[in-house]
Amino acid sequence: MKCYVALAALVASASASKVLESLNGADRSELEQQLTKWKTLYGPIAQQNGFTPESAMSVDQHTDMELLRFHETVQAVEQAKKDNPLAQFDAMNQFALLNDAEFKQVLVQSFGNQTFNAPPLAAEAVGAADADWSSHKCNPPVKNQGQCGSCWAFSTVGTVEAAHCLATGTLLDLSEQQVVSCSTNGGSMGCNGGFPPSAIDYMQQGVCLQQDWPYAGQTGSCNKNCQKQQLSIGKTIQTSGESSLQNALTKQPVTVVVEAGNAVWRNYKGGVVTQCPGARSDHAVIAVGFGSSTGQYFKIKNSWGAQWGENGYIYLQRGVGGKGMCNVAEGVSYPELKGSSPNPPQPSSYTPSPSSKNPTPKPQPTSFRPVPSTPQPYPSTRNPLPTAPTPSSSKPSPTRKPSPSTPNPLPTAPVPSSSSPVPTPTDDDCGDWDDDDDDDDDNGGDVPAPTSRSPTPPSPSTPSSYKPTPTPPKPFPTRKPSPSSRSPLPTAPTPSSQSPLPT
């Protein structure tokens, strides 16, 4: 047996070398660069989930076998793009170093020889033109089942969590591991596959929380000591057909089976899948909505992690009849809701598009206000400038001094002349003008207050006898005018309203 394995490995290595020799120098160099990038981005998660061949997985050195597998994935991506013009595909995913047989083996364990033959439900009018539960508070986050063939447990646990939340308003994080290890209904065999309707039947008796029984990625043994949560769910319903699936989605998310062991699912990145190779269902997922913004589609949540597809989701064409695209309508199962069903949420503004994986956010206006090109008076939120004192023919008495009962010390910094130029404002990350708080503004911050503020003197009872200083401006005289004739001092240096704002 060991000789056979060694011989097979030798033949595979020789085949890989022959294929790689057919590449020219530029193509091989580009392939090596892409593989280096893949090992950096997806190598760790691929190794964690067991999706890498036996190799040293050196980032800088690649074996011929690794290069061959990655080369085959790149070729499969190009073919998927031709077959599905409304979707996007990329070799940058955790499955890139698995060959077709290995990838299918991971999925084929999920069901064994189970078949789905539930009849469609009685026809009923569809209550909504579209629905999308992915943004609802009762939609659990995307999870990753790893290499264990436990999709049947992940899809049914997610569907039951949503149904319980819609009935009670509380979203629980239930243990997939309990279902994998303990549910043997209908021939379920842990990581070797299971039957979704039977798993829903099993959960009628209650399920432990994820924190009490975390997921281990293997079948394990059944632990009956954890505290089970009693769930508000009804009987298990099974159906088939696109119309029945669409009707069910107007009430709640549901479990569906699909044919996913192909390059389309393996390398999917976004958009609507319109052609799906294969015929046999081998994977269980959660249908969360339907719409028609870019053609008719069903929206599906997978259990391969949020790095796969569109943040863990895939769009499948709707309206093809029969079992549906990728068999999405072949086997539909879900727990009956207890109580009335809420109105289905409408799809978000995002539209699956072949042009990009994620929508480009609409640019928002910033708070910055550009400086006007034409001179304008400098805006101020402070007290208005004092009015110019009225000239008087009488000369001020040189011997008069301010009353000692109402001292008014001058500010420590000299008050600028009314003809002094306004400092050029400095832009920062905000868009408002100077104010009275300590936050940065467009002029580099608030104007600092004088170190010593003077109380506002009383309003003059008689016309002022003070004459304004003639041009050119001179410093204030040493003598102090009477408080009855002085104008109120500004609380901070205030530029003249006649000086234009520098552009």
Q: What is the pLDDT, as a whole number, of residue 423? A: 46
Task: Share the mean pLDDT of the chain.
Answer: 75
Percentage of the chain with pLDDT > 90?
A: 48
- Answering whether pTM is above 0.75, one says no
Mind listing the pLDDT tens digit for each residue in 107-118? 866 665 566 666
Structure tokens at 22: 């057919």
Give the pLDDT band (50/70/90) at residue 236. very high
Residues classed as catalytic? 151, 283, 302
Q: Which of 361-375, 429-443, 473-487 has the highest mean pLDDT?
A: 473-487
* Side chain identity, residue 15: S
11-28 pLDDT, tens digit per residue, is 455 556 667 777 878 998
d(CA 423, CA 493): 11
Looking at residue 502, the DSSP 8-state letter turns out to be P
| Structure confidence at residue 354 (pLDDT) | 52
Q: What is the Cα–Cα distance from 199 to 117, expressed in whole angstroms? A: 17
Q: How far apart are CA 310 and CA 135, in angstroms?
A: 14
**Mean pLDDT throughout 451-462?**
45
283-291 and 254-258 as β-strands: parallel, antiparallel, unpaired? antiparallel
DSSP 384-439: PPPPPPPP-SSPPPTT----TTS--PPPSSPPPPTTSPPPPP---S--S---SSSS
Task: State whether the Cα torsion 174-176-177-183 is positive or negative.
Answer: positive
Of residues 140 and 223, the one with the higher pLDDT is: 140
Q: In this structure, which amino acid lies at residue 342? A: P
Q: Which residues contact 364 (CB under 8 A, 6 or more apart)?
A: none
Going from the C-alpha of 146 to that of each of 191, 302, 369, the distances in angstroms are 10, 12, 51
pLDDT greater than 70 at residue 257: yes
Separation of alpha carbons 116 and 227, rounded Å:
33
**302, 291 contact by CB (below 8 A):** no
Q: What is the pLDDT of residue 341?
A: 63
For residue 37, give both structure tokens: 């990038």
Residue 317 in this model has a pLDDT that exceeds 80? yes
Domain borders along the chain are 1-51+63-353
Collapsed DSSP state (helix, strand, coil) of residue 43 = helix
Taking the C-alpha atoms of residue 164 and residue 233, their distance in angstroms, rounded to an integer, is 6
Coil/strand/helix, residue 228 = strand
Which residues in 49-201 belong to E strands, given as ranges?
A: 87-89, 131-132
Q: Which CATH number is associated with domain 1-51+63-353? A: 3.90.70.10
Judge whether residue 464 has pLDDT over 50. Answer: no
Mean pLDDT of 443-448: 42
Mean predicted confidence (pLDDT) in 125-151: 90
